[in-house]
Amino acid sequence: EVEDLTSQKLTIKVFDDEGLQEPQLIGTTQLELNALVPERLDDMWLPLYKESKKGNLSSSKRGEVFLCFYKGW
């Protein structure tokens, strides 16, 4: 649920799941919700970062993920 567009972020975690073992976290990224334009389809590349056990994102990139968003609120 979105409560405050000015401060909330969408956290996206990308996993490698080969089905034989526990899924491995490839990387994590965050997107500021206020960066999305209302009533428009946006697509973008977002960098993936290594996540610490405390949930903090490191500064070293682990790749990228391409996403499409539609902000309907």
pLDDT, greater one: 68 or 70 = 68
pLDDT, greater one: 30 or 59 = 30
Distance CA 33, CA 43 (A): 14
Report the 3 state secondary structure along the chain: CCCCCCCCEEEEEEEECCCCCCCEEEEEEEEEHHHCCECCEEEEEEEEEEECCCCCEEEEEEEEEEEEEEECC
Distance CA 26, CA 62 (A): 7
User: Residue 39: its pLDDT value, please?
Assistant: 81
pLDDT digits (tens, 9 = 90+) for 6-53: 778 889 999 998 888 899 989 999 988 888 777 888 889 999 998 877
Instruction: Grade residue 69 by pLDDT with cuts at 50, 70 and 90.
Output: confident
